[in-house]
Structures are given as structure tokens and as C-alpha cells.
Amino acid sequence: MVASRAIGSLRRFSAFRIPRSRGYICRNFTRSSALLTRTHVNYGVKGDVAVVRLNSPNSKVNTLNKEVQSEFIEVMSEIWANDQIRSAVLISSKPGCFIAGADINMLAACKTSQEATRVSQEGQRIFEKLEKSTKPIVAAISGSCLGGGLELAISCQYRIATKDRKTVLGVPEVLLGILPGAGGTQRLPKMVGIPAAFDMMLTGRNIHADKAKKMGLVDQLVEPLGPGVKPPEERTIEYLEEVAVTFAKGLADKKITPKRDKGLVEKLTSYAMKIPFVRQQVYKTVEEKVQKQTKGLYPAPLKIIDAVKTGIEQGNDAGYLAESQKFGELAMTKESKALIGLYHGQVLCKKNKFGTPQNEVKQLAILGAGLMGAGIAQVSVDKGLKTLLKDATVAGLGRGQQQVFKGLNDKVKKKAITSFERDSTFSKLIGQLDYKDFEKADMVIEAVFEDLSIKHKVLKEVEAVTPDHCVFASNTSALPIKEIAAVSKRPEKVIGMHYFSPVDKMQLLEIITTEKTTQDTTASAVAVGLKQGKVIIVVKDGPGFYTTRCLAPMMSEVIRILQEGVGPKKLDSLTTGFGFPVGAATLADEVGVDVAQHVAEDLGKAFGERFGGGNVELLKQMVARGFLGRKSGKGFYIYQEGSKDKNLNSDMDGIFASLKLPAKPEVSSDEDIQYRVVTRFVNEAVLCLQEGVLATPEEGDIGAVFGLGFPPCLGGPFRFVDLYGAQKIVDRLRKYEAVYGKQFAPCQLLLDHANSPSKKFHQ
Amino acid sequence: MPHDLARAALLGLLHRTNIPKEVVDYITFGTVIQEVKTSNVAREAALGAGFSDKTPAHTVTMACISSNQAMTTAVGLIASGQSDVVVAGGVELMSDVPIRHSRKMRKMMLDLNRAKTLGQRLSLLSKFRPNFLSPELPAVAEFSTSETMGHSADRLAAAFAISRLEQDEYALRSHSLAKKAQDEGLLSDVVPFKVPGKDTVSKDNGIRPSSLEQMAKLKPAFIKPYGTVTAANSSFLTDGASAMLIMSEDRALAMGYKPKAYLRDFVYVSQDPKDQLLLGPTYATPKVLEKAGLTMSDIDVFEFHEAFSGQILANFKAMDSDWFAQNYMGRKTKVGSLPLEKFNTWGGSLSLGHPFGATGCRLVMAAANRLRKEGGQYGLVAACAAGGQGHGMIVETYPK
């Protein structure tokens, strides 16, 4: 769960944020008056309730850094010292953010684990003061309350949260390879119970306010308000404050107790957790589960379990100590650096560096209602884009419409949206068989069959009916955009938008520009992709672009390994053991063996020997026998509807036998097999940067991890080179080159990095 | 059954006006929660009341402004020359709402109907589960947002920062004024109704002026534990029916009638059903005034539907806010403040009750009667309705 989730959840987390600007500190002091104004934290007094307001200037979010912490403790000390004040409310003045987490730079600044441990201990010390406060403190939460923000909130005596979509609570530290280091591992289990606390800390998942209330994470909910005599967000925060003040008074007057009634299930659970034997079983089960899912590649989850266990079994002091020490250790791990790097890269790939497009895309049109086309349609209407979905046949269109509806309806089942919202979203999709209304389309994305002549045909048809400003985007995984654009009247408006399947789950979008594509066209494509919620890399045109191109030599190696007699199951376990979320053989089945064959042949022609290795004949024979992978029910494995177990496809034995290659014992150890697969991937990625297909190594890492499942714990091919060492990789490549030849020849850029160890892709 | 109440209203109308039944060209009624057996309740009630079977009748629905819709439908029929004499009314029987079988149960029963052999029937019956029996209750909740109206009202009051005390005070005012009007015999539009097997109801039985202290003791009804909308400052759901005779002026005079009032002009408005569910009057008031070429100061009598104290006070504040007018209504300036001395002076839905489909006619009748009693030319009727809709109407007293 953790490993694969790390990909899925990265989009949502923001435990750590970087303040946008640091040049504001002196400003407020110029208008110093009798009243001491602080930069981030201020307070006012309502009756006998102090209202502490957090509002970091020049930033959309509040983060906990040293400055904020020291101001906060100053303010709290004044409140504790003031006899007129009997209780306090803690609130953010920013709509949409309570506290988004601790400042990631605090961690980056630590050179040793001892320093990181001190950061954790400082947080623990402050929150302990809050917890022991004799004056009740109410945390009034509106917007994101994550990481250190949630640890602060659970140190308070009472929590009230706004029940809106923006209000989420969570401890996403595990996704950065660390743990909640400010008392989180100690307080959460006591507050929500051991199983729920493990779930929160090991998955890093965001919890919405109403769920948080049910779990006991917050005590009261406040409904978001509509317009009154001021903007809704402003008034909602005010209202939250008013309600929180009432409760703070009530707590101080002992009219309200912070204890809450537990449900039967909860009572039973907490009773069971009092039995040491049951607790041991829980630890064991969770550890086994984590071990199975992370394959031991991610140290954070195990340390989290350890810290929780220490606190519960050996008492508070030991628990807090364990937490801070493990925090320090984790902060120095490669895995944490890799995951934090991915976080930074992801933030970067969520921005449009091409500026605001001249024409905002308001009407989208999609050609082809297949798996991809319908998937693109779903993520578009879901974000409010009016979308025309055109297919050639009623049956094809109907299937696509059903796919979109199912996608939305699944959200209703998960209670993410209401059935009414599903209906109004679905109404934004118009299915059709002709080009009606294409004259209003601002962008057309084609997702028709991967065949150049068909792509040419639809391009000409589309250009005949669309306005001049309309962007034509091709969703292809390998056909060069230049060749598609060759028949275009407006090649400057032609671009590639390579989505990944399933579109509603995979976050990556690879945008491909040709030499003729204008910057405005690129800006439009990026804007649409961002609207669809995608993480975007923009690469130059060429066979296979970036992602497919990296995948091809890796798959070629995979075929060779299979030919050498390593079974698909063994291969899968070797690759997942290295950190790939999906095993290599399974991946081929998921992508589709026919697609893999297409790509292998096309790219093989384009790049020649370097992409050789395995024999494409293997794929050809599979396709000929109908083993197309999951979609046809058979590939390397057999897939049965409703059954999760997959068995090997025994019919493959004959194919393997006919193409059998002798294994080379000097490069066939488990580790060598893993590295043969990975180094070819990494080498090709570095070559893409060398050739300028990739603009930045950050995009290369994001593309590999989010699009191809490159192990997140390694942070992407470029981070991997930095952390593992370029020289070591070159050594590996040389070793394999000696056996197999040029396919393993390291590229120049990689050699440059190996020759000067100070060279890093990520500074 | 609802048509019994509606029939009583029709009979009361016949009795009061002495209109010959055969003169009535058309009958239209508003209702919200439909009794399945009498889905066109207007027709069933008319037949039962002895109207000619040659008089067509239809039923309309538009939540709390259903009978307003019935009245304006009548206006339309007359204006377009379809009819000269129309009876418009509304009915709601809150004490017996239809409660349905669950969808699963309904499906099984329908399938059983279609099953041909004993084997098919038995196999269907074997699929029965006890949870099929859990019934589906109608709720006063928005379909689009699933939010109950009281909940929305509480949020609305909070959005406009209206305190519990203000709401209780307004509710107390409504009850006190209604009591006074009742005692003075001003509520002359009431027709006694003999409940079969029980006593005759001859006056509004929900008027209960209490004290602020008593009201303050109540717990919030919707947003618990800190909300401000309580049972005491909400309108209560009750049974009721209303009917009204609407004619072209010429025809009325020709028949020797002395009309009470003109229905001068009307508008319907709609807005966001989530956050502005109950702000219909704010939008309808300036629109209907503008359409009729009048200003706020021309109005002598305001008669607004009181769904909740908080809703009335929120509408007051919204109309008195430049910010709201500019940001949500597309106006340059605020609508203006409403003079409380002209506002619902004989009580309102908070104290008299709110039978959804019947309230509209009561509002218009109260406006007409108040104009005649207190003197004055124009009355303004406004109401909010589920779905985020609203209605405004100008009533003009008939010159004496």
C-alpha cells in the first residue's frame, strides 16, 4: 500500500511547504506602535477568550518554521500569564489553510541526524506545553491541517473543523520518508485508537472533516456558509471563530467536557487494545503488511510502528524519545531525500511555465471513445470542462459514455460527490458521431487508433471544421508528432498530449512539442492538463518521446531475461523487489502485448541496435495467439473476471521454449537481473536529457515515477544516479556491455557525471 | 385525504361568494407532497365539491409557492382570454404524507406482478430480505444538495450574523401580532372545518405567544449543538387548504360583484439552491416593484412568507446591503430596508402555520384584507420556496 500509494498520494500532500518569499520580515516593524505586532502570529481578546490568529504574510499557506514557532510560543506565554484570559482559540486567517505542515527547509538545513532530532524535540516541547495548558485551547480548523499542523491541533484540548472539501486532516510525513515528529506518533493512537492511527500514519491519507469527526479526531463541525453581507469564505472563518469562542468559554466554565461518547465498535476496539496480547497481534499484523507492501525498501513505516509501540509499551518518555530519534535517522536516509525530491519536482510540474494562453480552452473535443478517449473525457468534465466526445460507432460511443459514467458513479459510491453532482458533471459530456459543434472547439484531443494514416485522416477532417485558434493534440504513445503534423494546415497548433492508462488514476501527462509548435499552443495544452489535475512534463518530439523511449530498452531487456529462462513470476518479484510498483511481466500485460510489440518495432527501427536485446518475435507470437494481456484475458498470466489471483499462462511455455536463449551466468544473479533492467532505463533517460528531449532532470524523474512506476524510493532515474553514484552505474553498464555489447554502452552525460563526482543532476 | 380539505376550501369559497358553480371556467390548485391516489387533487376536490364535471381542473407544484403559481396561472388564463372566472387554491395535508416502500421492495412487487409461474414467483420471493421493509420517508430536503431546509436556514442566519435572540424576538412578534389579529377578528379568511370523527377547527391553532425566556430554553433543531434555528423560531408544518375567486374585472362587475383587490403584477425568481435557498424575496421584491413601476415607498402593506425567523431577518439584511446587491444581484445599490410597521402585522407563517401548497393564497388574501382594513393602495407579497426559487406579487386594493 505504502509504496504504490506514495505515487497516488503525492498529489494531495503538502505536509511540508516552502514559504514563497522571505523578504517580508522587516516590513511590519516599520509601523510599530504601542501594540506589538508580530509577523505570523497575533492575538486579540474577546471577553476572557484569547483568539490567536496565524497568518504568514505573502503566502497562501501557513507553515511551521522556527520564526512561527517562536512567535507562537511568545503569544502563548503572554496568554498563560494573563489572568484576564481563561481560554484560547487558535485559528488561521487564511481561507483554505489552517497549517499545511512544517517548513521543509528546516529539515533540508539539517546536516546530521542529531540536528534533525533536535528539530523534532523542539516541536515536541512546544506541543507538550499546549497539551498541559490549564487554560483550554480550542483549535479552529478551516482548510488543510496537515503534518505538524495536525500534531499541533491534537495537542489542543478541543478541535472544531469546517465541514468543507478544503478542510483535510492528515499526517503525510510517511510520503516524504519521515515520521510525524512532533508528538504525532504518541498522541494519535491515544486519540483515535491504535488501528486508525496506524492507518493515518502509514498511508498518509487525507481525512475530510466529517470523517475526522466520526473518528474522534475533531470534536465539532461547522458548516460552511454562503454569501451574507461579506464574501462566504471570510464569513465562514468568522463564524468558525465565533463558534470556537463559545466552546472555549464553555470549556473554561466546565459546561462542556472535551470527552466524547464513543460508539459500540469504538468501545470494543479500545477495550481490546488494553489487552497486551491483542496489541502484539496488531503490531505483528501491521508490520507484516508493511513488510509485504514495501519489500523493506521504505524505512519510514517500520520506524513509525516502532515509535508507536515504544510509546504504548514503555510509556511517554520513551515514546517521545524514540519518535525524535527515529525522526532524525529517517531525515538522513536516501529514501527520504528521494521522496522529498519527488515532492519538489511535483510542485514544479504543477505550474505552467509557458504563461497564460491567449485563448482559454472552454470547449474541448475528443476523438475516439476508447479507453483513453473516455478517460480523458472523464478527467475533463470532472473539472468542469465542456467536452464533446466523438466516436465512429454508436456502440463505441456508448461504451465510452458508460466508462465516464462509471468513473463518476464510483466517486458517488465512495461518497466523494453526490449523485446530483455526478449528474450535473455528466451533463457536460456530449456524445456524438459527427463533427457538429466542432466549430466552437478550442482544442481537439484525438485518441484514435495508433496508426499514422488514421491520424492523418482525422487531422484533416478536424482542421476542416475547427476554428483557426483550435489546438490539435494527439494522444499517442510513440508516433512522432512531427509526422502527424506533416499533413496539417496549422502545424504550429499541433502538439502531443500523451496520457497514461487508466487516465483517471495516472497523474502524469507528457506533452510533446515539435519545432513548429508555438509557445502559446504549449501553454494551452499545459493549462488544460493542469485543469485536468495532471502532473505535466513537456518534452521534445522524437520517437517514443521520453517515457516510451525509456521503457522500450527496459522492456527489451525484460524479454531477453524471459528468453534466458527466468519465469514471469520470478521476474515480477525481482522488479517489484527493486521498488517498481508493478512487476515487469505484469506491466506488459497491463499495457497490452500488441502495444508493446508496436512500440518495440517502431523504436527498434528508429534507434537500431541500442534498443535490441530481447527478440520481438516473442511478442509477435503472443499477439498471433491472442495473448494480448489483461484486455484479452491472457498474456503472461491468465486473467479471470472477479478473480484477483492470477495464474501463469501455461500456453506460453511453448513460445518461451522456441525462443530460448542460453543464460549468461556471469550476469544472471538476481541483483544483476535487476540492474540490467534498471540501468538500461536510467541510461536512456540520461541520454534523453543529453539530447535535449528532456528540458530538466526534475521532469525526467517525475515522468519516470508517475508515468512508468520507476521506484519512488529511488526518486527517479536522475535522483538515483545522484544518490547511488554515477560511477557505480557506469561500472554496472560496462560489466553488462562486456557480455551483451552496445546496448549497455553508457551515454556521454552519464560518463561526465562519473568522471567528476561533484556533478549532480539535483543540486 | 388532501382532497377533503381542498373540497372544504372550495365549499367555503362558494358559500362566501355565492358564485354559481357553472360560471367557473377553470380550477387550479397548488400542492407539494402529492397523495398518489389524487395526484390531480384539484379535479378530485372540484368533483367532490359539486362543481360541474364540465369544468376542467389541474394541479400545479412549485414547493412553498405552489398556490402562488395556481393564482398566477389563473391570471394567465384570464389575460390570454381562455377563461373569465377561475378558482385558484392550494392544499397540503402534512399529517398524512405518503410513505413509500423501499425501491427494492417496489421492484420485487412489480416483478411479482409480471411473474407467470409459481416457480418464478417463489424464486422472486426467495430474494426477499428484511431490509426491503424499511420505508422511504419524504423529507423537507433539497434533492440537489440533500440539505434539509432548517439546516440551510441555520446557515443562512449565520451567514448574515443573525443571533438567536434576534430570531426569537422576531418569532415572538409574529405570534403576538397573530394573537392580536385573531382576538380582534381580523383573520376573517378562515373557514371552520369539521374533522371527521373529531371536533370542528374554527381558528388557527398554532398561535402561541410565549416568552423570550421560554424560547431561549429550546435546543437547536438542526445544527446541533450550537445552531440558532429552533422549533420556536421556525414555521410549523400544518394541514391547510385555501381557495380564491379570480375574475376579469369586467365580468366581476357585470355579475354584480364588488372586487377586493387587483392582482397587479408578479414575478418568479430563482437562485442557488444551496447557499441562497431562502433568499427568494430579496430577489423578487425589487424585480416586481420595477416591473410594476413602483418603489418601496409606494407599498403600504408587506406580506412575506415567514419560513423561519432567521430567513426573514436574512432577507431584511440582504435587501439592506449594498455589498450583497452589487455582488449577487447585479444591482448598483441595495434594495432598501423594509418598514417593520407595515410588515406582516397580522402574523405570518411562523405563527399561523405553513401548509406548503396552501400558503400563497393566504398571503395574498391577508395583503388584500389588510389594505382594506388599514387603508392604502399597494401591497407586496413575497415568498421563498424550495429549489432556491422565489415569488413576488403586487396586490392593489380595489377602489371603494
Contact list in A for residue B274 (CB cut-off 8 A) is: 226
Contact list in A for residue B278 (CB cut-off 8 A) is: none
Q: Is the peptide bond before B281 cis (omega within 30 degrees of 0)?
A: no
Euclidean distance between CA atoms A56 and B86, whole angstroms: 66
Strands A647-648 and B26-30: unpaired
Domains B2-95+240-255 and B149-191+209-222+260-397 in one fold: yes
Listed residues A542, A574, A601: the one ending a domain: A542
CA distance A349 to chain B (A): 35
Nearest to B323 among A230, A247, A418 (CB): A230
CB contact under 8 A, A228 and B314: yes
CATH number at residue A645: 1.10.1040.50
> How many angstroms separate the first and last alpha carbons of chain A?
31
- Judge: domain B2-95+240-255, CATH 3.90.600.10: no
Question: Residue range B175-185: average pLDDT?
Answer: 97
Q: Identify whether residues A536 and A649 lie together within a single domain.
A: no
Nearest to A229 among B154, B158, B317 (CB): B317
CATH number at residue A484: 3.40.50.720
Q: Which residues of A618-654 are buried (b: 16+ CB within 10 A; e: fewer)?
A: bbbbbbebebbbbbbebbbbbbeeeeeebeebeebee
Contact list in B for residue A238 (CB cut-off 8 A) is: 161
Nearest to A227 among B145, B161, B324 (CB): B324
Euclidean distance between CA atoms A170 and A144, whole angstroms: 9
Residue A400 lies in a domain: yes
- What is B149-191+209-222+260-397's CATH number, 3.40.47.10, 3.40.50.1000, 3.40.710.10, 3.30.470.20? 3.40.47.10
Longest CA–CA span in chain B (Å) reads 77
Longest CA–CA span in chain A (Å) reads 89
The answer to whether residue A564 is catalytic is no
C-alpha cell at A623: 499477439
Q: What percent of chain B has pLDDT over 70?
A: 100
Higher pLDDT, A266 or B58: B58
Listed residues A523, A542, A561: the one ending a domain: A542
Are A169 and A214 in contact by the 8 Å Cβ rule? The answer is no
Residue A6: what pLDDT?
Answer: 35
Contacts of A448 (CB under 8 A, 6+ apart): A367, A368, A373, A454, A455, A458
User: What total of structural domains would you count in chain A?
Assistant: 3
Domain ranges of chain B: 2-95+240-255, 100-136, 149-191+209-222+260-397
The residue in chain B having the minimum alpha-carbon distance to the alpha carbon of residue A243 is B226
Listed residues A491, A508, A542: the one ending a domain: A542
Tally of CB atoms within 10 A around A559: 23
Residue with cell 423594509: B338
C-alpha distances in angstroms, A53 versus A62, A96, A98, A217, B66?
Answer: 11, 14, 10, 21, 48
Euclidean distance between CA atoms A626 and A640, whole angstroms: 15
Q: Identify whether residues A585 and A668 lie together within a single domain.
A: yes
Question: Residue range B252-268: average pLDDT?
Answer: 96
C-alpha distances in angstroms, B214 versus B150, B228, B348?
Answer: 21, 15, 20
**Stated pTM of the model:** 0.90
CB contact under 8 A, A243 and B144: no
Contact list in A for residue B327 (CB cut-off 8 A) is: 227, 231
Q: Identify whether residues A741 and A666 lie together within a single domain.
A: yes
Contact list in A for residue B226 (CB cut-off 8 A) is: 220, 243, 246-247
C-alpha cell at A716: 527517479
Q: Identify whether residues A282 and A419 lie together within a single domain.
A: no
Give alpha helix (H) positions in A488-592.
519-531, 547-563, 568-578, 584-591
Task: Give the domain range for residue A201.
Answer: 41-332
Residue A95: what pLDDT?
Answer: 87
Q: Identify whether residues A121 and A208 lie together within a single domain.
A: yes
Nearest to A229 among B151, B275, B323 (CB): B323
Is B145's Cβ below 8 Å from some Cβ in A? yes
Helix axes A276-294, A299-314, angle to 10 degrees: 170
CB contact under 8 A, B317 and A243: no
CA distance A236 to chain B (A): 7
Question: Residue range B36-48: average pLDDT?
Answer: 95
Euclidean distance between CA atoms A5 and B267, whole angstroms: 55
Strands A508-513 and A494-499: antiparallel
Amino acid at A608: G
Q: What is the pLDDT of residues A428-449, one digit of tens each?
A: 999 999 999 999 999 999 999 8
Q: Identify whether residues A567 and A512 lie together within a single domain.
A: no
Q: Is the peptide bond before B273 cis (omega within 30 degrees of 0)?
A: no
CA distance B151 to chain A (A): 9
Q: Identify whether residues A571 and A648 lie together within a single domain.
A: yes
Q: What is the pLDDT of residues A617-662, one digit of tens each?
A: 999 999 999 999 888 889 999 988 777 777 899 899 999 999 999 9
Contact list in A for residue B159 (CB cut-off 8 A) is: 225-228, 232, 235, 239
Q: Identify whether residues A107 and A171 lie together within a single domain.
A: yes
Residue B94 three-state SS: helix
Closest CA relative to residue A749, chosen from A712, A713, A700, A711? A700
CATH number at residue A164: 3.90.226.10
Tally of CB atoms within 10 A around A343: 23
CB contact under 8 A, B155 and A225: yes
Closest CA relative to residue B152, chosen from B272, B67, B68, B64? B272
C-alpha cell at B29: 390548485
Amino acid at B77: L
Q: Identify whether residues A394 and A278 lie together within a single domain.
A: no
Q: What is the pLDDT of residues B192-232, one digit of tens each?
A: 999 888 899 999 999 999 999 999 999 999 998 999 999 99
Are B189 and B346 in contact by the 8 Å Cβ rule? The answer is no
C-alpha count within 13 angstroms, C-beta hemisphere, residue A280: 3
Residue B13 three-state SS: helix
Q: Which of A335, A450, A510, A557 is catalytic?
A: A510
Is B316's Cβ below 8 Å from some Cβ in A? no
Helix or strand (DSSP H, E) at A204: none
Q: Identify whether residues A552 and A529 lie together within a single domain.
A: no
Q: Is the ipTM of this complex over 0.90?
A: yes
Residue A34 lies in a domain: no
Tally of CB atoms within 10 A around B326: 13
Residues in chain A predicted with pLDDT less than 70, given as ranges, are 1-36
Euclidean distance between CA atoms A120 and A124, whole angstroms: 6
CB contact under 8 A, B276 and A228: no
Contact list in B for residue A231 (CB cut-off 8 A) is: 327
Residue A73: what pLDDT?
Answer: 94
Where does the pLDDT of residue B5 fall: very low under 50, low under 70, confident under 90, or very high at 90 and above? very high
Q: Which residues of A touch B (CB under 8 A)?
A: 220, 223-232, 235, 238-239, 243, 246-247, 418, 420
Q: Which residues of B are identified as catalytic?
A: 64, 354, 384
Euclidean distance between CA atoms A231 and B159, whole angstroms: 9
The three-state (H, E, C) secondary structure of B178-206, written as one string: HHHHHHCCCCCCCCCEECCCCCEECCCCC
Residue A262: what pLDDT?
Answer: 74
CB contact under 8 A, A243 and B324: no
Is B270's Cβ below 8 Å from some Cβ in A? no
Residue A36: what pLDDT?
Answer: 62
Q: What is the pLDDT of residues B88-110, one digit of tens each?
A: 999 999 888 888 889 899 999 89
